[in-house]
A and B are shown apart, each in its own frame.
Chain A
Amino acid sequence: MSSDFGIRISGLRAAFATLFLFPLAAPSGAADATLLKGEVDGRQLAAAIAREKGHVVLVNFWATWCVPCREEFPDLVRLEKSYRGRGLRILGVSTDLAKDLPKVEKFLAAGHPDFPNYRKKSGGDDQDFIESVDPKWGGELPFTLLYGRDGKKARVLSGKQSYADFERAVAALMADPGA
């Protein structure tokens, strides 16, 4: 079990993850020894996404206070299970405040995501983070970005999506030889 990361991966997948998937800088501060992989600012998140080049990458921004985020999260867990073998990588990013870390932990413990989840780094102005992720993002949650295998941003999904919405977007990118 990969206790360093605290996420539910095992065996070869954990080894693979250790080598290739999650080589982010060491988690900082309050995120240590949690189900979270660490805290990220916009630059670190961009680096984590870039490391997945060659895969279709889905990045989902969520918060425990956000009801539609909680509602769509199980679909992402299911999506990852179905499409990981076909080259999908999912990264979750909680925008919860530091004081809500226990809620984040509880949520992740209940949701059993097989993909890494980070928390937006504390401090600073949220606007800077939002702008760095996508200049057209207004800050609404949930919010999802999709990147093609070429590492380029391909789709923006604002608001809650259904499993079919996610699957359609991912499948289209996987079928696109240019992406």
Chain B
Amino acid sequence: MTTRVLVTGLGTTSPVGGDVTSTWAALLSGQSGVDTLKHDWASDLGTQIAAEVAVDPSDVLERVKARRLDRSGQLALVAALEAWKDAGFRLGDGDGDATDPERVAVALASGIGGVQTLLSNYDALREKGPRRVSPLAIPMLMPNGPAASIGLTIGAKAGVHTPVSACASGNEAISLGIDMIRLGRADVVVVGGTEAAVHALPMAAFGQMMALSKRNDEPDKASRPWDKGRDGFVMGEGAAVLVLESEAHAQARGATAYAEAAGAGITADSHDIAQPDPAGLGATRAMKRALEDARLDPADVVHINAHATSTPQGDVAEAMAIREALGGAADRAVVTSTKSMTGHLLGAAGALESVATVLALRDRVVPPTINLDDPEDVGLDLASTRRELPSGDLAAMNNSFGFGGHNVAIAFRSV
């Protein structure tokens, strides 16, 4: 009998809200978090829009704590603190908290890592010399920095991990957390992803790949998955965290579960470093594996939060993959892309969209894909407006795919 893994806490700081409640309300109401960039550095770029976080982390975190973290670490800590508290845990003192630190782990991903720290310290090195490079630069820029700071804050001693698989990183972290609990390596795993790459260099680099939307004059319309007018993704930033917990541990402390993290499927395309497999074969296998791992039938799946980033090729390939993975049962699944509102959070995307998937199961409602004015005929039930889900036992999936050919699907089941 496989150990059941429950989701007992959620946290986020996103382009549409500074916490879970505000983010979920914004997603359900179809609110875009994309705006024109006000930074001086943006004026030379082909793309001058992005989805920055709605609440700056420096408004929330203690100043001295914040200055020792890269922005990606700040965002991760904000989300993790919310999720930890939401799960009913307390910080540090152990007083009244029955959780053994040696049974608590962290799997917190990032696609790009502390790129803002790296670049600002390189600026300092060139302009003022090596002595002006911060002694904190390495712990701030290392990709595992956010995971480590969460581990330190909540007291996690079962292991602290940082899976890196570009835009699939967040889902890979969730998959790792499920595995750790099933293997008995931890009772509680704080999982998720963070990204803070809204900066001239990553924006210029994605621009050179022809990956970004250039709809600078209509920022809130720029992210439009499956719409015929889509022209690339919109860079987003933020973090999202889920607390995963073994059913036994959750029951023993009387915790409330949002959903079951029922299974995961991970595959690799082995096709191209940046292009997805044109027929979505790797994505199909990831979804099928997730369903098998979760012991679900395709017909159980009533909702998919798709990776769909608003790129011309990727959205269509994923739609084909969904049809292939679910077969005729694909007709029953309401498919959405919350990236239409949040932009693409890269290594945090899977985590934020898993939070949305979990809440969709709990509240029986699917957030809309906004800007779907002229949809491609992809043969799926795309949620161009907010949609209700039926009652009863339901399952849903969240897809994430990343440069390098990484495909990770996570299956959730209602509780």
Q: Do A and B bind each other?
A: no
Residues of B within 8 A of A (CB): none
Residues of A within 8 A of B (CB): none
